[in-house]
Amino acid sequence: MPTLLETAYQAVDEKKGQDIVVLNMEGVSLIADQFIICHANSERQVQAIAREVADKASKNDFEVKRVEGLDNGRWVLVDLGDVVVHVFHKDDRGYYNLERLWGDAPLLNMANER
């Protein structure tokens, strides 16, 4: 059975999330153990990715704590507890630049999870 991180990552990848980055937040933040950050080219795709993450998590018996921003489709946050997924519209990702904000968090290589 895939881990929560693998489940969320695969959902993002399957819905064609762009420039997927996984940050290891352990020891950096109390918010979550990992952040997955990606973007999409339209509000509709942002929403589709977020829904897929929530659906796949639920189907694999992981709790979806909350989903925020789904209506606007510009920045959707899917809180899965230990993993938080940030799905941005391509035009907004650079503005918020979470990778720089959490720059002391090491990157995780998920290439083997594809």
What does DSSP say about strands 75-79 and 34-40: parallel, antiparallel, or unpaired?
Answer: unpaired
Digitized pLDDT (tens) for each residue of the chain, 114 residues in all: 789 999 999 999 999 999 999 999 998 888 899 999 999 999 999 999 999 999 999 999 999 999 999 999 999 999 999 999 999 999 999 999 998 889 889 899 887 544
Q: How far is Cα 73 from Cα 54, in angstroms, rounded to an integer?
A: 15
Report the run of H or E that residue 77 belongs to, with start and end. Answer: strand 75-79
The reported pTM is 0.94
H helix count then E strand count, the chain: 4, 6
